Structure 1
């Protein structure tokens, strides 16, 4: 009789627990998302080598605003010396409106082996979603900015002078879910100024491997109209990374 009562009690507790926590229960989505990735990289252009790269991205998406911060690091060396060392910092803050958003953005690059060793761009403007549904998000941004550029040293110009100029920045951002496990991202950014113009395409393919782990293939192509003598106008970075997402 005691065993029967115990069995009934266990059954009741199990039924109540099942009702409180259904088997398909998931934690509600967090406003904060973090991505960490690292992997192998191939460089062509001003730097040609095999190398290691890493990236950390933090996104806080609240009701009234959205904050993004991204840090990228690229490093390469051969048997004799370091051949590539580059660091990128991208910061953006969006203030949401009923239609679209107002943004402030900062892009900072340190590249010891690039055509420009220091690049800093600060911009602001207006952005809005052209398409926004469960599978596709396409947004456009446009606004004025200010750019600082320091060219790399060359034999003809061992002491280059920096340039400072007002620019117009326009960007298109696309995120498309092919299906539940596969996502394609494409960002196209154009910066136009009196002294120089640039066009950057950042394209990546992400496929979920296991839970929060994903395999990511990325291609970053940047075209710079005016570069120091002996430098390439096009820089291409191809990366093969393993990515982990915290939500």
Structure 2
């Protein structure tokens, strides 16, 4: 698995270098890529509002001594208005493996299945880059430490750094969560959520993003981190290599604290 992850990132870096020398287009002209962050695009908002939507898909199929299929996908829809900036994200991931049974036959079994939904409404405050937001999210993970995890938070966000090629955004606020772990236990309580995102335009056609969010609850600390590199193929298509990690401090004994995923996907923006 480590060698596969390194190979994916090596391929993405090679494509980034090639795209940087071949494509003069500015990646900032496309809608920004984010997770739980709503950022105004660099273009003016036509007639008071506009939608920025991206869809990404990646799939791996193997056969021979090892057979299986894995698919990951994401839809990110952003609605920009004069006073509001709203974002809706849906993601999915599943993996099937072909196994040999005791009688010599072979069958396929699901080894990973995760879906997540989130919706966020951010009100733009008077000072540029500041916002008040409400965020709700739900994760259904059949094989995870928490099979269901829902949270809602409110808070304040601001842009700490804004340069031509870099931005840093942070958010903080209280919230509530409700989770069901793999042992069937139910947990609920108050949380304090903090999040940060770095976006760096590496070249006219490549962008790097690092996002971290942490929810500190009464019985568990839930954190998500994603590192990604996107390279522009043309005006609407990008290739994205990403590594994400989900961590829970309080999990059943038979489960690990951290789940990771390495992906290489095509992203279509419209």
For this structure pair, what is the TM-score category when the shorter chain's length is used for normalisation?
Answer: 0.7 to 0.9
The separation in 1 between residues aligned to 2:218 and 2:158, in whole angstroms, is: 27
Runs of at least 5 residues in structure 1 that lack an aligned partner in the other structure: 1-25, 43-48, 154-159
The separation in 2 between residues aligned to 1:40 and 1:205, in whole angstroms, is: 18
Q: Is the 8 A contact 1:41 1:240 kept in 2?
A: no
1:132 and 1:41, CA in 2 relative to 1: closer, same or farther beyond 3 A? farther
The answer for the alignment partner of 2:122 in structure 1 is: 94
The answer for the alignment partner of 2:185 in structure 1 is: 161
1:134 and 1:41, CA in 2 relative to 1: closer, same or farther beyond 3 A? farther
The separation in 1 between residues aligned to 2:257 and 2:154, in whole angstroms, is: 26
1:161 and 1:207, CA in 2 relative to 1: closer, same or farther beyond 3 A? same
The answer for the alignment partner of 1:7 in structure 2 is: none
Secondary structure of 2:233's match?
Answer: strand
Matches within 5 A, 1:53-92: 53-79=72-98, 80-92=108-120
The separation in 2 between residues aligned to 1:233 and 1:50, in whole angstroms, is: 25
The answer for the alignment partner of 1:132 in structure 2 is: 162
The answer for the alignment partner of 2:240 in structure 1 is: 216
Deviation (angstroms), 1:134: 3.0
The separation in 1 between residues aligned to 2:202 and 2:213, in whole angstroms, is: 23
The answer for the alignment partner of 1:115 in structure 2 is: 145
Moved over 6 A (4+): 26-29
The separation in 2 between residues aligned to 1:82 and 1:198, in whole angstroms, is: 25
Deviation (angstroms), 1:179: 1.8
RMSD of aligned alpha carbons: 2.0
Answer with 1 or 2: which has the greater Rg.
1
Q: 1:190 aligns with which of 214, 222, 239?
A: 214
TM-score of the pair, normalised by structure 1: 0.80
Once the two structures are superposed, what CA deviation does each residue of 1:55-92 show, in whole Å capped at 9, x if it has no partner? Answer: 00001122211000110010110113111111011111
Deviation (angstroms), 1:101: 0.7
Matches within 5 A, 1:38-57: 38-40=57-59, 51-57=70-76
Q: Is the 8 A contact 1:41 1:239 kept in 2?
A: no
Q: Is the 8 A contact 1:41 1:238 kept in 2?
A: no
The separation in 2 between residues aligned to 1:140 and 1:168, in whole angstroms, is: 14
Deviation (angstroms), 1:135: 1.8
The separation in 2 between residues aligned to 1:234 and 1:63, in whole angstroms, is: 40
Q: 2:249 aligns with which of 208, 225, 229?
A: 225
Aligned residues: 209
Deviation (angstroms), 1:113: 0.8
The answer for the alignment partner of 1:141 in structure 2 is: 171
TM-score of the pair, normalised by structure 2: 0.73
Runs of at least 5 residues in structure 2 that lack an aligned partner in the other structure: 1-28, 30-42, 62-67, 99-107
The separation in 1 between residues aligned to 2:265 and 2:205, in whole angstroms, is: 16
The separation in 2 between residues aligned to 1:65 and 1:114, in whole angstroms, is: 34
Deviation (angstroms), 1:240: 0.4
The separation in 1 between residues aligned to 2:60 and 2:90, in whole angstroms, is: 16
